[in-house]
Amino acid sequence: MRSSSSAFFFFSAAAGTSAWYARMADFRACSNRAFINSTQKRPRIIAAHTIQNIAVRLYRLIISLNADALKRVSSFRSCSEYDTIWFRRFQNMINVLFVTPVTEDRKQEFENMDGFSFVFKAAADVTEDDVKEADAILGNLPLSLIEKAPNLKWIQLNSAGANTYKDIRSDIILTNASGAYGEAISEHMLGCVLMVLKNLARYLEMQKSHDWENLGSVNTLSITKVLSVGMGDIGTSFAKKMNALGAEVCGVRRSIHDKPDYVKELYTMEDLDRILPEFDVVALSLPETEETVHLFDAKKLSLMKEGSILVNVGRGSAIVTEDLIDAAKTGKFEGVCLDVTEQEPLPKNSPLWNIDRVYITPHISGRFNAAVTYDRVLSIFKENLEHFRDGETMINVVDKRLGY
């Protein structure tokens, strides 16, 4: 009899403790409303994560001893219901929907961060119910799903390009992964230029037919004039590499102030018609904006130097496809290297596939094919998660008016 009374007393005390924690959760949820960040409109998490974690773990230990007894004594919800409703409120968790591919070890790094409740899902598997609970989304989802996310306060893209998302709700913070792709994509650009300059693609074709023939003279970078159109992370990385290898490099960007040492001259878009005939290599790494769509039309392509090289790794929309087809068919270019096209995938019946000296890769210069790119994207995620949680200024915030 004594043992049963003791058990009843213990579980009654446990139930009282659980009810106290639930009330404290309500109190904390209410009091946190006073800590709303006026610019980002979300709760700020104060520096009590460790204490909270200990308290919650103790509470969950009590719950696990006898959930059924607690339910009978205190009329409490089941443990699973508690986890999804009260536990998050007690912790003041930020609900994060993580739709970027992530390895198990990296997933653990994120789950160990204080103040967050993560849901990891492939983007293709995300449902409307998933986004309804999200305070933040890490990765790129269709706009049709984002529109169904009433609690959403922040989207962190895994891409540098953000133009698709520029019309999302004004109260949603939009950040991108600019700075993660420059090294990998600029190396791809460098490889394209060297492939054309040294006739490597043509020699590979000759190998297939077992032809042993010298194709004659080639150029070197030391006598090559390069124009990097777009001087963001990618264009800047490319300019640095070309300069280091001896090329004369100029850049095109919105502002010509504060010229870096690795470029000889800076120009604006308004200068393009005047300067295009001077350059042996024209490399595009532009975002998609009203200013850049169809920037390179028949006129600009005609102004380019005979025997020049055109590289595009930014957005396919920067070049008018039909105009490029017409210009390339004339043999004007020594090489055209496209990692992006106006329509993707490029239709199988596109003439671009069969034009001599047009080289196409299927938008693979970036992505996560390089480990360093993947690591940098996840580092940006972690840094911005901490800033978001602590109410600090975030990095890579996109200007929605400009689209980058």
Residue range 191-214: mean pLDDT, rounded: 98
Q: Say which range, 66-80, 222-236, 325-339, 342-356, has the weakest mean pLDDT.
A: 66-80
Say whether both 156 and 58 belong to one domain: no
- Which of 91, 117, 143 is at the close of a domain? 91
Say whether both 132 and 14 belong to one domain: no
The amino acid occupying position 349 is N
Q: Cβ(315)–Cβ(287) under 8 Å?
A: yes
CA 113 to chain centre: 20
Length of the chain: 404
The yes-or-no verdict on residue 40 having pLDDT over 50 is: no
- Which of 59, 91, 123 is at the close of a domain? 91
Say whether both 343 and 263 belong to one domain: yes
The single-letter DSSP state of residue 34 is G
Residue 403 lies in a domain: no
Residue 235 lies in a domain: yes
The yes-or-no verdict on residue 7 having pLDDT over 70 is: no
- Residue 67 confidence (pLDDT): 45
Q: Cβ(321)–Cβ(352) under 8 Å?
A: yes
Total tally of structural domains belonging to the chain = 3
CATH number of the domain where residue 240 is located: 3.40.50.720
- Residue 15 confidence (pLDDT): 46
The yes-or-no verdict on residue 123 having pLDDT over 70 is: yes
Bridge partners of residue 335, in order along the sequence: 309
- Residue 58 confidence (pLDDT): 57
pLDDT tens profile 55-112: 555 555 554 444 444 444 344 444 554 454 445 444 579 999 999 999 999 999 999 9
- 298-310 b/e with 16+ CB inside 10 Å = b? eebbeebbeebbb
The amino acid occupying position 123 is A
Residue 397 lies in a domain: no
Catalytic annotation, residues: 315, 344, 363
Say whether both 304 and 317 belong to one domain: yes
Say whether both 206 and 324 belong to one domain: yes
pLDDT tens profile 147-185: 999 999 999 999 999 999 999 999 999 999 999 999 999
Residue 365 lies in a domain: no
Residue 402 lies in a domain: no
Say whether both 228 and 197 belong to one domain: yes
Residue range 251-272: mean pLDDT, rounded: 97
pLDDT tens profile 8-18: 444 444 444 44
Residue 402 backbone dihedrals phi, psi, to 5 degrees: -90, -30
Alpha carbon distances (Å) from 225 to 222, 247, 248, 305 = 8, 6, 5, 11
Say whether both 31 and 143 belong to one domain: no
Written as six digits, the tokens of 333 are: 């270019």
Say whether both 258 and 206 belong to one domain: yes
Query: pLDDT higher for 332 or 62?
Result: 332
Say whether both 148 and 53 belong to one domain: no
Residue 29 lies in a domain: yes
Alpha carbon distances (Å) from 312 to 55, 71, 154, 214, 300 = 55, 64, 31, 29, 14
Distance CA 202, CA 243 (A): 26
- Which of 60, 91, 122 is at the close of a domain? 91
- Residue 199 confidence (pLDDT): 98
- Residue 37 confidence (pLDDT): 42
- Residue 21 confidence (pLDDT): 47
Residue 160 lies in a domain: yes
Say whether both 67 and 100 belong to one domain: no
Residue 396 lies in a domain: no
Dihedral angle sign, alpha carbons of residues 223, 227, 231, 235: negative
Say whether both 303 and 189 belong to one domain: yes
> How does DSSP assign 191-226, residue by residue?
HHHHHHHTTHHHHHHHHHTT----------GGG-EE
The yes-or-no verdict on residue 32 having pLDDT over 80 is: no
Distance CA 76, CA 338 (A): 62
Say whether both 69 and 212 belong to one domain: no
- Residue 401 confidence (pLDDT): 87
User: What angle is formed at CA 363 by the lines to CA 357 and CA 368, rounded to 5 degrees?
Assistant: 135
Written as six digits, the tokens of 32 are: 């946190």
Q: Cβ(166)–Cβ(400) under 8 Å?
A: yes
- Edge-first strand order for the sheet with 265-267 is 265-267, 248-252, 225-229, 281-284, 308-312, 333-338, 358-360
Range of the domain at 278: 182-360
Instruction: Give the three-state DSSP class for 277.
Output: helix
Decide: residue 345, CB within 10 A, 0-12 exposed, 13-18 middle, 19+ buried.
Answer: exposed
